[in-house]
Amino acid sequence: MSEYHNLLHVIKARVCENRKISHSAYYVGSQQDEQIKNRTALIFILEVVLHEHRVKYATIFNPMEGKVALHHLIFMKTKWLLSDIRKLTLDDALLVIQDELKPEKINAEAQDVLSTLKLPSVAFLFEDAMEEDWDPKKNAVYLQSLMLKALQ
């Protein structure tokens, strides 16, 4: 299994856990299943986009761990003050970089892994967008080996 595959499953498990949804408590194709898939895909794409941003801009002096990569990406796009960027909620930050958060914007290997979710063609969203769904520190574990490959 690839690191992308592992990352996808960890994110999906976290989304379910945050909403206290058992993996066996919903059936495939249900609205709840589609909501889980969409939220998982969004967080996964965010992580891949930020990973690729780190590969391009990180240095040994600033590896852009965690939210730093998100803040830097927003800064590069908007030139807003970092103090203002740091105040953004996750939902607001995602809105700012919405044009980057598309499946076709990520690399082919990540797209292949994402396709295993069999995303619905319409939006099924949770009413609440929990910030806890994105845990950049825990997700970083799965992206470290990809970073090492990219730096070689």
pLDDT by 10s per residue, the chain, length 152: 689 999 999 999 999 999 998 866 667 878 888 999 999 999 999 999 999 999 999 999 999 999 999 999 999 999 999 999 999 999 999 999 999 999 999 999 999 999 999 998 888 888 888 999 999 999 998 888 877 777 66
Radius of gyration of the chain (CA): 15
Burial status of residue 88 (CB atoms within 10 A of its CB: 0-12, 13-18, 19 or more): middle
- 3-state DSSP assignment of residue 13: helix
Cα distance between residue 114 and residue 112, in whole Å = 5
User: Amino acid letter at 72?
Assistant: H
pLDDT of residue 152: 64
Q: How many CB atoms lie within 10 A of CB 94?
A: 19
pLDDT of residue 27: 75
Yes or no: say if 109 and 2 are a contact pair by the CB < 8 Å rule. yes
Sorted by where each begins, the domain ranges of the chain are: 3-151
Q: What is the length of the chain?
A: 152
| Residue 51: DSSP 8-state | H
Q: How many CB atoms lie within 10 A of CB 15?
A: 23
User: How open is the CA angle 141-132-130, to the nearest 5 degrees?
Assistant: 145
pLDDT of residue 84: 98
User: Amino acid letter at 62?
Assistant: N
pLDDT of residue 125: 86
pTM of the model: 0.92
pLDDT of residue 16: 93
